Amino acid sequence: AQSVAQPEDQVNVAEGNPLTVKCTYSVSGNPYLFWYVQYPNRGLQFLLKYITGDNLVKGSYGFEAEFNKSQTSFHLKKPSALVSDSALYFCAVRDMVGSSNTGKLIFGQGTTLQVKP
Amino acid sequence: ETGVTQSPTHLIKTRGQQVTLRCSSQSGHNTVSWYQQALGQGPQFIFQYYREEENGRGNFPPRFSGLQFPNYSSELNVNALELDDSALYLCASSRLGGGANVLTFGAGSRLTVL
């Protein structure tokens, strides 16, 4: 079965420091990977995706993610964290079983990022 | 372009009742999917609609049903509500055509079942 794991419930970082939010995946075939962010009382907002090509993907708000096939990881990174980055972050993989046209995403449990001034 | 809008934003029901949640897709999108997000959990796929038909379903019982209308808006209906149905229900729209499509999510409808 396809799955995504986010091993950290919470990540704490000081403003201005680099941040990493970890994600590992388990899929058959080539993965389509996504990162979304959720602010309180808001829906999920798309940050970036990996489909194919360059292993370093750049996304919204200065975020980037590194795809590592050998480690089956897709960690989210940002060189310099902002207090406003504090939110709940979800890694997700597209469920490709059966049909490539299904919209089903399989989400991790989420990681709360806390950026302190 | 307009985003995905959901209504109502909050509602409270009692066990055994029925609820209908509504969603308007983002302009230009023809596919709608629904997710359930329990407290402290990641969203779980309920089902997807394309061309007014369900074309994918997650591990949810038949009392969860939906509709998609010609204007691509959608409804999620839940019958015989149970306490465990308390959650944030998220609607997402996209353009069908491949696994790389990005889902655009609404802000959700928070359902509390007492």
Q: For residue range A5-64, what is the model confidence (pLDDT) as tens digits?
A: 999 999 999 999 999 999 999 988 888 999 999 998 788 999 999 998 899 999 999 999
Question: Letter for the amino acid at A53?
Answer: G
pLDDT for A42 equals 82
Residue A99 has pLDDT above 70, yes or no: no
- With CB atoms and an 8 Å threshold, state whether B48 touches A102: yes
User: Which of B44, B45, B89, B95 is best to mutate for the A interface (most A CBs within 10 A)?
Assistant: B45
Q: Which residue has the tokens 């972050």?
A: A89
Q: For residue A101, give Cα distances in angstroms to A55, A86, A98, B50, B97.
A: 24, 33, 9, 10, 6
Task: Please count the other Cβ atoms lying within 10 Å of the Cβ belonging to residue A24.
Answer: 17
Residue B57 tokens read as: 């379903």
Average pLDDT in chain B: 92
Residue A83 has pLDDT above 90, yes or no: yes
In what helix (H) or strand (E) does residue A67 lie, and over which residues does it extend?
strand A64-68
Length of chain A in terms of residues written: 117
Task: Please count the other Cβ atoms lying within 10 Å of the Cβ belonging to residue B98.
Answer: 12
pLDDT for B28 equals 86
Closest CA relative to residue A107, chosen from A64, A65, A74: A74
When pLDDT is cut at 50, 70 and 90, the band that residue B33 belongs to is very high
Q: For residue range B69-96, what is the model confidence (pLDDT) as tens digits?
A: 998 899 999 999 999 999 999 999 998 7
pLDDT for A96 equals 73
Beta bridge partners of B63: none
* Closest Cα in chain A, distance from residue B37 (Å): 10
Of A22-26, A87-91, B5-9, B25-29, the poorest mean pLDDT is in B25-29
Residue B19 has pLDDT above 60, yes or no: yes
Q: For residue range B41-57, what is the model confidence (pLDDT) as tens digits?
A: 999 999 999 889 998 89
- C-alpha–C-alpha distance, residues A35 and B71, integer Å: 29
pLDDT for A1 equals 76
Helical residues (DSSP H) of A17-59, grouped into ranges: none
Q: What is the CA radius of gyration of chain B?
A: 13
- C-alpha–C-alpha distance, residues A27 and A29, integer Å: 6
pLDDT for B1 equals 58
Closest CA relative to residue B53, chosen from B37, B66, B39: B66
User: Which of B9, B95, B102, B109 is best to mutate for the A interface (most A CBs within 10 A)?
Assistant: B102
pLDDT for B98 equals 55
Chain A positions in Cβ-Cβ contact with residue B68 (cut-off 8 Å): none
